[in-house]
Amino acid sequence: MTGFGRSELKVTHGLIRAEIKSVNHKFLEVSLRLPGHLNEFEEIVRRLVAQKIRRGKITLSVQAPDPSVYTARLVLNESLAKEVAEKIRRLKKTLKIKEGGDENFILKEALHFPEVLTKDHTGEKSGALLKSLNRAVDLALGNLKKSRTDEGRALKKDFLKQLSVIRKAAAAVEKRIPVLAREFRKNLEKRASEFLPETIAADRERLTLETALYLKNSDIAEEVTRLKSHFDAMKRALDEEGELGRKVDFIGQEMIREANTMGAKSSDVRIASLVIQIKSAIEKIREQSQNVE
Structural domains in the chain? 3-66+122-150 (3.30.230.70), 74-119 (no CATH), 153-289 (no CATH)
Q: What is the mean pLDDT of residues 244-250?
A: 85
Angle between helices 42-52 and 130-195 (to 10 degrees): 40
**How far does Cα 129 stand from its chain's mean position?**
30
Q: What is the mean pLDDT of residues 74-80?
A: 79
Of 54, 29, 4, 26, residue with least CA distance to 287:
26
Contact 213, 258 (CB under 8 A): no
pLDDT at 293: 65
Contact 156, 238 (CB under 8 A): yes
Q: Which of 10-24, 41-55, 199-213, 251-265 has the lowest mean pLDDT?
A: 199-213
How many other C-beta atoms lie within 10 A of the C-beta of residue 244?
19
Q: What is the mean pLDDT of residues 220-241?
A: 88
Q: What is the mean pLDDT of residues 75-97?
A: 79
**Would you give the end-to-end CA distance of the chain in angstroms?**
7
* Residues 149, 150, 152: CA angle, nearest 5 degrees: 60
Q: Which of 41-45, 207-211, 267-271 has the lowest mean pLDDT?
A: 207-211
Q: What is the mean pLDDT of residues 129-136?
A: 89
Q: What is the mean pLDDT of residues 141-166?
A: 88
The residues, ordered by sequence, that sit 6+ positions from 121 with a Cβ below 8 Å of its Cβ are 67, 68, 71, 73
Whether 254 has a pLDDT exceeding 90, the answer reads yes
* More confident call, 186 vs 201: 186
Whether 202 has a pLDDT exceeding 50, the answer reads no
Residue 11 phi, psi (nearest 5): -125, 180
pLDDT at 188: 57
Q: State how far the alpha carbon of 292 is from the alpha carbons of 15, 67, 91, 230, in Å.
A: 33, 40, 69, 19
Q: What Rg, from alpha-carbon coordinates, does the chain have?
A: 37
Helix (H, G, I), strand (E, B) or coil at 14: strand
* More confident call, 91 vs 160: 160
How buried is 169 (Cβ within 10 angstroms: 0-12 exposed, 13-18 middle, 19+ buried)?
A: buried
- Mean of the per-residue pLDDT values for the chain? 80
Give the C-alpha separation, 151 to 149, whole Å.
5
Q: What is the mean pLDDT of residues 5-32?
A: 87
